Structure 1
Amino acid sequence: MDMNQYLSMFIDESNDHLQSLNESMMGLEANPEDLSIVQVIFRSAHTLKGMAATMGFEDLASLTHQMENVLDLVRNNKLRMQDFIFDTLFKSLDALESMVQDITGGGEGKADVSAIVASLQAIVRGEIPSAAGAAPAAAEAPAAQTPVYLDEFQYSVLEQSIQEGHQVMYLDVALRKDCQLKAVRAYMVFDLLERSGEIVKSFPSVQDIEQEKFDTGFSLYYITQKEAAEIQAMVLNVSEIEKVTAVALDAETLHQMAVAPAAATAEAPAQPKAEEKPAAAAPAAAQAPAKDESAKATPARTGAPSRTIRVDIERLDVLMNLFSELLIDRVRLEQLASEVQNTDLTETVEHMGRVSGDLQNIVMKLRMVPVDNVFNRFPRMIRDLAKSLDKKIDLVITGAETELDRTVIDEIGDPLVHLLRNAVDHGVEPVQDRLAAGKSETGTIQLRAFHSGNHVFIEIEDDGAGIDPKKILKSAIKKGILTQEQAAGYSDEKARQLLFAPGFSTAEVISDISGRGVGLDVVKSKINSLGGNVTIYSTLGKGTNFSVQLPLTLSIIAAMLVRMGSEKYAIPLSSIVETSIIKHSQIKTIHGNKMVEFRGSHIPLVSLSKIFAIADYDESTEEETEIVVVRKGDRMIALAVQDFIGQSEIVIKNLGKYLPEIQGISGATILGDGQVALIIDPNAFFK
Structure 2
Amino acid sequence: MSQDNGGMGGDLSQFSMLDLFRMEADSQTQILTDGLLAMERLKNDASAVESMMRAAHSIKGAASIVGLEVVVQVAHSMEDAFIAAQHGKLALTPNRVDVLLAGVDLILQLSRLQDSGVDAWLAANETLIKQTLDSIATIAFLPEPVNLQAEMGWMQQAPAPAPAPAFPVGELPIAPTPAPVPAEEVPIDRRASAAGAKAQNFDKLLSLASESRINAHQMHPFIQNLQRFKRNQASLAAVIEQLHEAISNSTDPKLKELSLLALQKTQPLKQFVLEHIADTEAYERRLLAVSQGMVDEVLTMRMRPFRDGVQPFPRMVRDLARSLGKDVQLQIIGEDTLVDRDILARIESPLNHMLRNAIDHGMDSAVERIAAGKPGAGTIVLEAKHRAGMLSIEISDDGKGVDLEKIRTRVIDRKMASAPMAAAMSGAELLEFLFLPAFSLKENTTEISGRGVGLDIVHETIRSQNGTVRIESELGVGFRTFITLPLTQSIVRALVVDVKGEAYAVPIVQVERVIKVPQTAIHTLENKQFFDFGGEHLGLVSAAQVLELGETDASSAELSVVVIGSGARRYALVVDAINGEQSLAVQAIDPIFGKMRDISAAALLDNGDPVLILDVPDLLLSIDKLLHDGGLHQLTRADHTERRKTKRVLVVDDSLTVREMERKLLQSRGFLVDIAIDGIDGWNVVRSGEYDLVITDVDMPRMDGIELVALIKKDIHLHKLPVMIVSYKDRPEDRARGLSAGADYYLTKGSFHDETLLDAVSDLIGDAHR
Q: How would you bin the TM-score normalised by the shorter chain?
A: 0.5 to 0.7
- State the match for 1:568 in structure 2: 503
Instruction: State the distance in 1 between where 2:577 and 2:316 align.
Output: 52
Describe how 1:255-294 pairs up with structure 2 within 5 A: 262=177
- State the match for 2:740 in structure 1: none
> For residues 619 and 7 of structure 1, do their structure 2 counterparts lie closer, same or farther at Cα, with a shift above 3 Å needed?
farther
Instruction: State the distance in 2 between where 1:541 and 1:649 align.
Output: 43
Matched, 1:678 2:597: no
Contact 1:370 1:403 in 2 (8 A): yes
- State the match for 2:562 in structure 1: 628
Query: Which one has a larger percent strand, Structure 1 or Structure 2?
Result: 1
Please state how far the C-alpha of 1:620 moved relative to its aligned partner: 2.6
Aligned with residue 354 of structure 1, among 263, 270, 289 = 289
Aligned with residue 406 of structure 2, among 471, 480, 484 = 471
Please state how far the C-alpha of 1:554 moved relative to its aligned partner: 0.5
Q: Quick check: 86-95 or 658-667, which moved more?
A: 658-667
Contact 2:213 2:288 in 1 (8 A): yes
Please state how far the C-alpha of 1:612 moved relative to its aligned partner: 1.0
Amino acid at match of 2:601: G
Contact 2:25 2:107 in 1 (8 A): no
Aligned with residue 122 of structure 1, among 129, 134, 151 = 134
Instruction: State the distance in 2 between where 1:430 and 1:376 align.
Output: 25
Matched, 1:363 2:298: yes
Amino acid at match of 1:91: A
- Deviation string 1:335-372 (CA, Å, 9 cap, x unpaired) is 37725947577764543222111222222233222212
Matched, 1:323 2:206: yes
Instruction: State the distance in 1 between where 2:65 and 2:382 align.
Output: 39
Instruction: State the distance in 2 between where 1:339 and 1:127 align.
Output: 77
Instruction: State the distance in 2 between where 1:35 and 1:563 align.
Output: 63
> For residues 131 and 10 of structure 1, do their structure 2 counterparts lie closer, same or farther at Cα, with a shift above 3 Å needed?
closer
Please state how far the C-alpha of 1:582 moved relative to its aligned partner: 3.4
SS at match of 1:382: helix
Please state how far the C-alpha of 1:668 moved relative to its aligned partner: 1.3
> For residues 484 and 586 of structure 1, do their structure 2 counterparts lie closer, same or farther at Cα, with a shift above 3 Å needed?
closer
- State the match for 1:618 in structure 2: 552
SS at match of 2:400: coil
Matched, 1:666 2:596: no
Instruction: State the distance in 1 between where 2:490 and 2:561 align.
Output: 26
**TM-score (normalizing by structure 2):** 0.60
Please state how far the C-alpha of 1:508 moved relative to its aligned partner: 2.3
Describe how 1:484-633 pairs up with structure 2 within 5 A: 487-488=422-423, 490-518=425-453, 520-599=455-534, 601-615=536-550, 618-630=552-564, 632=566
- State the match for 1:395 in structure 2: 330
Matched, 1:20 2:36: no
Contact 2:102 2:176 in 1 (8 A): no
Amino acid at match of 2:491: I
- Deviation string 1:99-149 (CA, Å, 9 cap, x unpaired) is 445569x9769565544543454357658655499xxxxxxxxxxxxxxxx
- State the match for 1:373 in structure 2: 308
Please state how far the C-alpha of 1:405 moved relative to its aligned partner: 1.3
Please state how far the C-alpha of 1:526 moved relative to its aligned partner: 1.3
Contact 2:440 2:450 in 1 (8 A): yes
Describe how 1:17-416 pairs up with structure 2 within 5 A: 17-34=28-45, 37-55=48-66, 60-72=71-83, 74-75=85-86, 81-102=92-113, 110=121, 114-115=126-127, 117-122=129-134, 126=138, 131=143, 262=177, 312=195, 315=198, 318-332=201-215, 334-335=217-218, 338=221, 341=225, 348-416=283-351
Contact 1:427 1:464 in 2 (8 A): yes
- Deviation string 1:59-79 (CA, Å, 9 cap, x unpaired) is 544543443354455556665
Unpaired segments of 5 or more residues in structure 2? 1-10, 146-162, 188-193, 227-276, 622-770
SS at match of 2:101: helix
> For residues 583 and 75 of structure 1, do their structure 2 counterparts lie closer, same or farther at Cα, with a shift above 3 Å needed?
closer
Instruction: State the distance in 1 between where 2:492 and 2:176 align.
Output: 44
Amino acid at match of 2:134: A
Q: Quick check: 331-340 or 550-559, which moved more?
A: 331-340
Instruction: State the distance in 1 between where 2:344 and 2:111 align.
Output: 21
Contact 2:505 2:612 in 1 (8 A): yes
Amino acid at match of 1:497: E
SS at match of 1:3: coil
SS at match of 1:517: coil
Q: How many residues align structurally?
A: 523
Instruction: State the distance in 2 between where 1:7 and 1:632 align.
Output: 52
- State the match for 1:648 in structure 2: 582
Please state how far the C-alpha of 1:95 moved relative to its aligned partner: 2.5
Instruction: State the distance in 1 between where 2:90 and 2:606 align.
Output: 70
SS at match of 2:593: coil
Unpaired segments of 5 or more residues in structure 1? 134-205, 215-259, 275-310
Instruction: State the distance in 2 between where 1:577 and 1:77 align.
Output: 58
Matched, 1:451 2:396: no
SS at match of 1:409: helix
Amino acid at match of 1:548: I
Please state how far the C-alpha of 1:21 moved relative to its aligned partner: 0.8
Instruction: State the distance in 2 between where 1:19 and 1:127 align.
Output: 21
Please state how far the C-alpha of 1:453 moved relative to its aligned partner: 1.0
SS at match of 2:441: coil
Contact 2:206 2:585 in 1 (8 A): no
Contact 2:100 2:136 in 1 (8 A): no
Instruction: State the distance in 1 between where 2:17 and 2:493 align.
Output: 41
Matched, 1:433 2:368: yes
Contact 1:70 1:120 in 2 (8 A): no
Please state how far the C-alpha of 1:420 moved relative to its aligned partner: 0.9
Aligned with residue 359 of structure 2, among 424, 428, 433 = 424
Amino acid at match of 1:409: L
Please state how far the C-alpha of 1:89 moved relative to its aligned partner: 0.9
Instruction: State the distance in 2 between where 1:8 and 1:322 align.
Output: 30
Which has the greater radius of gyration?
Answer: 2
> For residues 397 and 37 of structure 1, do their structure 2 counterparts lie closer, same or farther at Cα, with a shift above 3 Å needed?
closer
Please state how far the C-alpha of 1:583 moved relative to its aligned partner: 3.3
Instruction: State the distance in 2 between where 1:264 and 1:129 align.
Output: 26
Instruction: State the distance in 2 between where 1:28 and 1:330 align.
Output: 50
Contact 2:467 2:509 in 1 (8 A): no
Amino acid at match of 1:26: L
- Deviation string 1:589-620 (CA, Å, 9 cap, x unpaired) is 244332234456542222101111224x6223
Instruction: State the distance in 2 between where 1:556 and 1:409 align.
Output: 15
Contact 2:105 2:178 in 1 (8 A): no
Please state how far the C-alpha of 1:383 moved relative to its aligned partner: 1.7
Amino acid at match of 2:49: V
Please state how far the C-alpha of 1:16 moved relative to its aligned partner: 2.1
- Deviation string 1:240-281 (CA, Å, 9 cap, x unpaired) is xxxxxxxxxxxxxxxxxxxx973569xx9xx9xx9xxxxxxx
Contact 2:468 2:510 in 1 (8 A): no
> For residues 585 and 667 of structure 1, do their structure 2 counterparts lie closer, same or farther at Cα, with a shift above 3 Å needed?
same
> For residues 586 and 660 of structure 1, do their structure 2 counterparts lie closer, same or farther at Cα, with a shift above 3 Å needed?
farther
> For residues 402 and 28 of structure 1, do their structure 2 counterparts lie closer, same or farther at Cα, with a shift above 3 Å needed?
same
Instruction: State the distance in 1 between where 2:76 and 2:419 align.
Output: 63
Please state how far the C-alpha of 1:23 moved relative to its aligned partner: 0.8
SS at match of 1:384: helix
Please state how far the C-alpha of 1:664 moved relative to its aligned partner: 3.1
Instruction: State the distance in 2 between where 1:384 and 1:44 align.
Output: 22
Please state how far the C-alpha of 1:333 moved relative to its aligned partner: 5.8
Aligned CA-pair RMSD: 4.0
- Deviation string 1:548-592 (CA, Å, 9 cap, x unpaired) is 221111101222322223311112233345544333223222443
Instruction: State the distance in 2 between where 1:652 and 1:127 align.
Output: 55
